[in-house]
Amino acid sequence: MIKHITITGYDYAVELRGSGRPIWVALHGFLGSAADFAEITFPGTVIIPNLLGFAQTDQLVAAKRFTAEQQVADLHTLIHAITDEPVRLLGYSCLLYTSDAADELDG
């Protein structure tokens, strides 16, 4: 299922798969998209956002929105729009969200 979440005026397309725990957040790298995780099976629930500027997410984005701080803030808001449960992060070449929200991670 694709869910659209608006954060500070920008639309994020987020793929949601599965149910239950653990809850995974799969983050694609530069030039990637949620499609990069299409062949991976996750136990539990997986949240796969297309980050700003990629795939079905808004692509006309002001340059100031691409700071690490803003990306982490958006990711935090996005995750909490879906769940308040602890999550497990999986990604490649992605932001270090864990440095600002380590207490919210599961495992």
| Range name among 11-20, 59-68, 77-86, 98-107 with the lowest pLDDT average | 98-107
What confidence tens digit (pLDDT) does each residue in 70-85 have? Answer: 888 888 999 999 999 9
Split at pLDDT 50, 70, 90, the class of 23 is very high
Cis link prior to 22 (omega < 30° from 0)? yes
**Which residues sit opposite 88 in a β-bridge?**
24
CA-based nearest residue to 60, from 11, 14, 15, 27: 11
What confidence tens digit (pLDDT) does each residue in 53-66 have? Answer: 655 554 556 677 67
Q: What is the pLDDT of residue 99?
A: 45
The whole-angstrom separation of Cα 101 and Cα 93 is: 18
Is the pLDDT confidence value at 42 over 80?
Answer: yes
Is the pLDDT confidence value at 46 over 90?
Answer: yes
**Which residues sit opposite 66 in a β-bridge?**
none
